[in-house]
Structure 1
């Protein structure tokens, strides 16, 4: 873990706990604090050179967001996404992100779609060299950008609230052998539909992409539970031709 020096000057008292909350989020999303981890308030406060008061205020913020869970007489632990949680979460995200893709295909400017194509190129690069961590990060940027290009603040608000919990999984499904190759195929179909401004196809491809993530996650968990090496995913996804 690092200190808070890169967060800039802390002028207002309220800004300290906000900065601490931002750092805690980053640690959680980057697995510096893994799901189920008990947060050691004393250690963090000492390491970051702060009192426990702003840290506790920051933890209250994260608890309200669902990222940490208070435990009686223990403190806070980082939230975990169970199998049941995932089965309920992914279909809802598939609906929301599918709608984001639908509206992005209709509402994004030509320049914005060119920019999105550039983000897809980053995905292609990471997939080509087998960089799972880089692929995950680029994938997060791509999905959040599609959401922004829908230009629908109400849709974005709802999607943002649930994307937080998706990030707790940190792309675990990409650890299933062969999944990244399949995922990039799904993305090729998606970007082709977006560039063609085929809103219905974009919605379908995004929806199916999210549900395929759930399928891969469940396959990974099943093989891990049996103590076997995950089976290689071999399903191929062909990109749709542009109109």
Structure 2
């Protein structure tokens, strides 16, 4: 009985992840209508897991439900972007300060390893973006506050909706790398205040490039 009750949940979560990736890769563009029937048909599923998946994405802010019009991929306004970056700067700078003061040598070594991978990926923007995200996830994991991690995870999903990602602006990859190096130096020096400041600067510069 329990196995049967888990199956629908697993299915709609799989559908939600599939749609999430279609949104992030711009296969489903911001502002575009999501054809539930067509996608359900393509996937060979009923509309029930499709609707449940859309509810999950709506809760994450990736999808907007409009009365009698259906589901649309959320469009991020300039204010939305500023608000998201503002909150990320607050949450992740606090996390960086915590890591600088309390992280173990092993945790700092893991961050340093990711930073080195970031340096090696400077000429591959897609890989740079992926490792950059891994670095921020690893830092928050080391900060060990699951509530902050959950909030940041949701905010970063909305940030990915930005049509022109900041890292693709000319020169932004190199700038971001320098900012990561400054942050890494502060973390390794166990300077909580400076680490928090470096992270705030990183997000301020990211917002400027994204706007």
Could you state the TM-score of these two structures normalised by the residue count of structure 1? 0.79
CA contact (8 A) 1:120 1:187 kept: yes
Aligned-pair RMSD on alpha carbons? 1.8
How many residue pairs end up in the alignment?
A: 207
Q: Which has the higher helix share?
A: 2
Long gaps (5+) in structure 1: 1-9, 219-243
1:19 and 1:160 mapped to 2: Cα distance?
A: 18
Q: Do the aligned partners of 2:81 and 2:162 also contact (CA within 8 Å) in 1?
A: no
Match of 1:39, SS? coil
**Corresponding residue for 1:152?**
145
Query: C-alpha deviations, 1:142-175, integer Å up to 9, x for none?
Result: 1111111101223223323322212222771122
Partner of 2:68: 73
- What are the equivalent positions in structure 2 for 1:85-96 lying under 5 Å apart? 85-96=80-91
Q: Which residue of 1 aligns with 2:171?
A: 178
TM-score (norm 2): 0.90
Unaligned runs of 5+ in 2: none
Q: Distance in 2 between matches of 1:190 and 1:138?
A: 15
State the Cα deviation string for residues 47-80 of structure 1 (Å, max 9, x = none): 2111122101110121122110012333211112
Equivalent position of 1:200 in the other structure: 193
Superposition pairs of residues 17-32 of structure 1, within 5 angstroms = 17-32=12-27
